[in-house]
Amino acid sequence: MMTSTSLVYLIALPLAGSAILLLAGRRSDKWGHLLATALSASSFVVGLYQLSLMLGRSTGERPITQKLFEWISVGSFKIDASLMLDQLSICFVLLITGVGTLIHIYSISYMSHDPDRRRFFAFLNLFIAAMLLLVLGDSYLNLYVGWEGVGLASYLLIGFWNQKPAYATASKKAFVMNRVGDMGLSFAIMIAFATMGTVSFSGVKEAVDHTSTAALTGIGIMLLVAATGKSAQFPLQAWLGDAMAGPTPVSALIHAATMVTAGVYLITRSNFIFDAAPTAQLLVVIVGAITLMFGALIGTAKDDIKKALAASTMSQIGYMILGAGLGPVGYAFAIMHLLTHGFFKAGMFLGAGSVMHGMNDEVNMRKYGALRKFMPITFATFGLGYLAILGVPPFAGFYSKDMIIETAFNSGGAKGIILGCVTLLGAGITAFYMTRVMILTFTGKSRWDDEAHPHESPWLMWLPMAILAIGSLTSGYLLSHGDALVNWLSPLFENHAEHAELLSPLVVSGLALAMVAIGIAIAFVKYSRNEVAAVAPTDVSIFTTIARQDLLQDRFNEAVFMQPGQVLTAVLVKTDEAVIDGAVRGVGRIALGSGSALRGVQTGFVRSYAALILIGAVALVAAIWVVTQ
C-alpha cells in the first residue's frame, strides 16, 4: 500500500481548530467561528485533493496509508497510530467535511445569538476531527478512538444547552447508551486479538480465512452491537430522539448525516468478517429490518418536528444496516443510501432548524402550519429533501432506497420476501409520516402562537440548505450512473455471485412508488382534509399512544435496566455500609466487648486474684497429672 504524508492534515486541521478555540477561550469569541469554518473547509479541500490523487491512481493502488507513530506496543499487541484512506473512507471524508463545512456555515448564523457560539464551533471541529479519525483509522482500535471521540463530541453538543436539566440528561443518556455499544466494539477487538493476534483491518482481513466461524460470528455480533449503539439501531436506539436536544445543526450533522451512520461504516468496513459469519450477517439484517419499521412507526406519531426527523433517520439507517447485512451486493447500496441520506436528511434538518429559527424555537408541528408562504426557500429545500426521502424519481432516494429494496427481495428465499416486504412497507410508512410533516408544517392554516413572526432565514442559513437540496436532487443519479459508486467501492468487497432475480428493478420501483403513493394518500386524507388540532389529541388509539412513547422503549429500559439498577445500587450502598463495613466494625466491637467482658476478671478483690492463681496452679498440676498418666 502506498504511503502518504498528508493524510494527517485531514484530522489535524479541525483538531487544531478545536484546541485553539477551547484554549483561547473568550478571547476567540470574535473570530472563532470563522476559523473553525475555515479549517473545516480546508479539511474538505484536502479531502478533494486526496480524491483527485486517488482518481489518478490505478484501482489497485488507490488505498494509501500514513503511519504517524507507534501508539501501543506490548508483546504482540502492536497498534500504530496510522491512517488509511481508501475508496470507502474517501466517501466518508468528503461527506463529513463537505456536509460538515456547510453546517459550519449554517451555524454561523443559526448560533449568532448564542453567547457560547465559539464553544459550539470548537465542539463541531472536535467532532469533525473525531469522525475523520473514525473513518481513517487503519485498525479497529484506532477506529475505536474516533468512535468514542464522536461520542464525546455528540455528548458535548447534545448537552450544549445543558443548563436545561432535560438536555443534560439527554446528553448523558446518549453517551451511556453509546458506551453500551462501545463495549461491543471492545469485545470485538478483544476477540479479534485473542483469536487472530491482530486488530488492524488488513491483518484481520488476512486472518479471516483461518479463523473459526464461531469466533468470526462473535466478532460480527459484537461489531453489530457497536453499530446499534452508535447508529441508534434496535435495541439501543432510544437515545436518538432525546439527542434532538442539541442545536439543530448538530442534529443535522451528527444525528442525521454522519455520526449515526458510523455503524454502517463499521459493518461495511468489516465486510470480510460478516461475509464469513452468516449468522452475524443475518442478525444485521434483522436489526436493520426491525429498526426501519421501528423508526418509521415512531415517526408517524411524533409532533416534534425534530423528533419526527430523528425517527426517520433511525428508520433510514435501518435501511442502510439492512443493506449492509445483505452481503457483498448490499454494501455499496448501503453506502450509497448513506451518502444520499446525508444530503437530504441534513437538508431537512437544516430546514427544520430554519423553521424553528423563524418560529421562536418552536418544535411542535401542531403549532406550525402554512409556513410555505413565509419561508419559501426553506419550503423548497425541505420539499426537495422530502421528495428524495420518499424515493420519487429522479431524486436521490429513488436510486439508493430502491436498490436496497430490490436487493432485499433478491436476497433469496423466504428471507428475501420478508425483507422485501418490510422495506416496501417501510417506504410506505415513510411516505406517510414525511407527508404528515410537510402538511403540518408548510400547508394548511397557521396555528402559531401570537408571538411567532415567521420569516425566512438569512442567506448564510439558506445557502447550505440550497446546496444540500441540490445534492438531494442530483446525488442519487450521479452516484448510480453507470454504477459509479458500486464500481468505485467494489475492490474492497468480495466478488459476489448474483442471486437469481426475484423481481426486476422495474417491478420493485413500481411497487415502491405504489407504496409511497398509498402513504401520501393516507396522510393527505388524515391531515390535509381535517383540521389539525393545535394541541395533540389524547383520545387516540393505543397504537398512537405507544408510538408517541417511542414504542415503549424508554419504559422498557426504565423497567428492565434503570429501576433494577437503582435498586441494586441502593441495596449495595446499604450493604457496603451494613454488611462489609459492618463486619469490620463488628470485629472491632467483638474485640472491645470481649475486652470489657474479660475486664470482669479484675474484680478488685485480692482473694479472687489469689483464686485465679490457684486455678492456674490446679490447671498446671492437672496437665501434669494427665501427662504422667
Partner 1 sequence: MTFTAPVLNYTLLSPILILLGGALLGVLVEAFVSKAMRAVTQLSLTVGTLVLSLAQVWRIHNEVSMSAAMGSVIIDGPAVLLQASILIISIISVFLIADTDHFTALAAALPGSEEERHSLETGNQVTEVYPLTLFAISGMMLFPIASDLITLFVALEMLSLPLYLMAGLSRRRRLASQEAALKYFLLGAFSSAFFLFGMAYLYGYSASVTYAGIRESVVGGSGNDVLLLVGMAFLTIGLLFKVGAVPFHAWSPDVYQGAPTPITGFMAAATKVAAFGAMLRIYYTVFANAQWSWSPLLSFIAIVTMLFGSLVAIAQRDVKRMLAYSSIAHAGFLLAGVIALNKAGLEASIFYLFAYGVATVGAFAVVTLVRDSSGEVTDLNRWKGLGKRSPWVAVSFAGFLLAFAGIPLTSGFIGKFSIFSAAYESGAKGVVIAGVLSSAIAAFFYIRVIVLMFFTDATQDGTSVQLPSFLTRATLVISIVVTLVLGVYPAPLLNLISHFSTFIR
Partner 2 sequence: MDAANYLYLSALLFTIGAVGVVVRRNAIVVFMCIELMLNAANLSFVTFSRINGDLNGQVIAFFTMVVAACEVVVGLAIIVTIYRSRRSASIDDASLLKR
Partner 3 sequence: MIDLAIQVGQTAKPEAALFWILAPLSVAAALGMLLVKKAVHSAILMAFMMISLAIFYIAQDAPFLGIVQVVVYTGAVMMLFLFILMLVGVDSSDSLTETIKGLRPIAITAAVGFGGLMISLLGRATLGRTSVGLESANAAGNVQGIATLLFSTYVWPFEVVSALLITAALGSMVLAHHHRIQTRPTQRELSIQRFRSGSLANAAGLPAPGVFARHNAVDVPALLPDGTAAAASVNASLKARGDVLNSKVFELGTVDTSVEEEK
Interacting residues with partner 1 (CB under 8 A): 588, 591-592, 594-596, 598-599, 601-602, 604, 606, 608-610, 612-613, 615-617, 620-621, 623-624, 627-628
Asked if 77 and 193 touch (Cβ cutoff 8 Å), the reply is yes
Q: Is 623 in the site for partner 2 (CB under 8 A)?
A: no
Residue with cell 488476512: 206
Half-sphere exposure in the Cβ direction for 374 (13 Å, CA): 22
Rule CB under 8 A: choose which of 414, 537, 607, 629 binds partner 2: 607
Nearer to partner 2, 59 or 602 (CB): 602
Which one of 148-156, 208-216, 522-530, 608-616 is the stretch in contact with partner 2 (CB under 8 A)? 608-616
For residue 137, the 8-state DSSP code is: B
- Closest approach, Cβ 621 to partner 2, in A, equals 10
Nearer to partner 1, 530 or 596 (CB): 596
Nearer to partner 3, 414 or 626 (CB): 626
- Closest approach, Cβ 613 to partner 2, in A, equals 9
Report H helices in 253-327: 262-269, 271-276, 278-301, 305-325
Which one of 115-123, 256-264, 572-580, 603-611 is the stretch in contact with partner 3 (CB under 8 A)? 603-611
Nearer to partner 1, 510 or 616 (CB): 616
Asked if 230 and 181 touch (Cβ cutoff 8 Å), the reply is yes
Which one of 72-80, 229-237, 414-422, 594-602 is the stretch in contact with partner 2 (CB under 8 A)? 594-602
b/e per residue, 248-260, with b = 16+ CB within 10 A? bbbbbbbbbbbbb
- Closest approach, Cβ 612 to partner 1, in A, equals 5
Query: Radius of gyration over alpha carbons of the chain, in Å?
Result: 30
Q: Is 624 in the site for partner 2 (CB under 8 A)?
A: no
Torsion of CA 195, 201, 206, 209, to 10 degrees: 60
Q: Is 605 in the site for partner 3 (CB under 8 A)?
A: yes
Which one of 328-336, 395-403, 592-600, 604-612 is the stretch in contact with partner 3 (CB under 8 A)? 604-612
For residue 71, the 8-state DSSP code is: E
Of 194, 30, 190, 231, the residue nearest 115 (C-alpha): 30
- Number of chain positions touching partner 2 (CB under 8 A): 12
Q: Which does 194 bind (CB under 5 to 8 A by kind): partner 2, partner 1, partner 3, none?
A: none
Q: Which does 622 bind (CB under 5 to 8 A by kind): partner 3, partner 1, partner 2, none?
A: partner 3
Q: Which does 537 bind (CB under 5 to 8 A by kind): partner 1, partner 2, partner 3, none?
A: none
Nearer to partner 3, 115 or 604 (CB): 604
Angle between helices 459-480 and 87-110 (to 10 degrees): 160
Whether the bond between 564 and the residue before it is cis, its omega within 30 degrees of 0, is no
Angle between helices 140-158 and 117-136 (to 10 degrees): 160
Q: Is 614 in the site for partner 3 (CB under 8 A)?
A: yes
- Closest approach, Cβ 617 to partner 2, in A, equals 8
Report H helices in 59-164: 87-110, 117-136, 140-158
Asked if 427 and 356 touch (Cβ cutoff 8 Å), the reply is no
- 74 forms bridges with which residues in the sheet? 77
* Residues near partner 2, by CB under 8 A: 599-600, 602-607, 610-611, 614, 617
Residues of the shown chain interacting with partner 3 in the complex, contacts defined by CB under 8 A? 603, 605, 607-608, 611, 614-615, 617-618, 621-622, 624-625, 628
